[in-house]
Amino acid sequence: MFEVNFDGIIGPTHNYGGLSEGNIASISNSQNPANPKKAALQGLKKMKILRDAGLIQGVFLPHERPYLAKMREMGFTGSDKQIINKVASHSPHLLHNLYSASSMWSANAATVSPSVDTADQKIHITPANLNAMFHRSIESDFTYHQCLQIFKNESFKIHKPVPPISGYGDEGAANHLRVASNHEQKGFEIFIFGTSAFKAYNSSIMRQAKEISHTVALKHQLNTEHYFLLQQNQDAIQRGSFHNDIVSLSNENIFIAHEKAFEDRNALNQIIRVLENNVSNFQFIEIKENEIPLTDIIKSYLLNSQLVSTTDGEMLMILPADVRNFDNCMQWIDKLKQISPVKKFEFVDIKQSMMNGGGPACLRLKVLMNNKELEGVNKNFILDDNKVEQIKHLIQSFYRDRILPDDLKDPDLLDEFQMILDQYTQIFDLENFYSFQ
């Protein structure tokens, strides 16, 4: 068993529309100029680090933006460009939602359970419905169909997104952890939720419903003794931990979390006891508030790092370059190197993603599989050196280096963006991938 990461290629409409309630970075940078070219190149460079470490790297292609089908569904009529003009005149904020490049954060694309965990020994994948935010909820159908194209044979079971309950949704792998002795062993999956879908809160930013997390676990045919439901810390959510992968992470037998990551300490302690009794060399590493305050954890995105096992048996942590600005975080990294199998550290500049609230872990969906299961993956979606160079050339040649949200009102941008998406389908040898083709 080994991990294959599927990163979302950052699309040409990357902008700072400030669409994500509860996401401090997104709101703080609202209406600032974005640099789609730099963003996409930064994402591609992070993928190369994984490939250089010996891991297989896959991709999700950008979603079709602007989302004209949704505009028509909402009653707008006319030619494509006439519709864009009408939406821009009626509601610029709606237009920004329908141009969002947020599918780049593929940790929210789906929840994945490996075959070693499931009763039918298939890899189960449930695309997230992302119902809490309109600009993300429009991703789920295309993600489902893209998953069907990537994970093609009987080794995979692709579920449809779970319907929302009472307005609450499902945020995918960003609220999901797995702990096991190693990738080959049956693991324990932890589903993190914000609230019950049937309990009213004053806040509207608790995105994950307990009942939907439970539904995903049932659909994935997980043993009831091998999965847990654990509530996010409500204060952490209010202070900017809109997904749990900002305050916790795991890889194989390592589970790292901030002291204020979870609401119920007793529930967490019960889970830790089960893991201590069943996972070889299990290590729970807790960051205390007096060691690194929650505010700094959230600002630095320290725990939104990507923790992976490399081919030489050591663990590599890929961290946002911004972490270097926090002395307490750097001191903790030195400590982590001494007390854990995490011995390698890479800092990546993904500032364009970070300004919208996405660190290294946000940019990828982790899928554990064996060689037989890998044979069932559509190789068109797996990066090689040739594809990397073609993508880089496309980005450097045609992506803009400056976009403001209001720039998206220009209907003539449609031709430019559709041309870029069409070029991607040629690089990846895909036919009729987008509706305009």
**Where in the sequence numbering do the catalytic residues fall?**
171, 243, 362
DSSP letters for 207-248: -BBHHHHHHHHHHTTB-GGGEEEEEBPHHHHHTT--SGGGTE
Count of residues in the chain: 437
Please name which of 117, 272, 265, 261 lies closest in space to residue 193, comparing C-alpha atoms: 261
DSSP label at 104? G
Distance CA 163, CA 34 (A): 33
Backbone angles phi, psi at 436, to 5 degrees: -80, -5
User: What gap in Å lies between CA 429 and CA 61, rounded to an integer?
Assistant: 12
Amino acid at 248: S
Q: 141 Cβ partners below 8 Å, 6+ apart?
A: 161
Q: Is 225 exposed, middle or buried (0-12, 13-18, 19+ CB in 10 A)?
A: exposed
Q: Which residue has the tokens 């992968």?
A: 245
**DSSP H or E run through 85:** helix 80-90
CA 164, CA 384: separation in Å to the nearest integer?
Answer: 37
Helix segments in 250-384, DSSP class H? 265-278, 294-300, 327-339, 351-354, 371-374
Other C-beta atoms within 10 Å of 106: how many?
A: 27
C-alpha of 141 from chain center: 16
Residue pair 219/112 in contact (Cβ under 8 Å)? The answer is: no
Tokens of 100: 């969002």
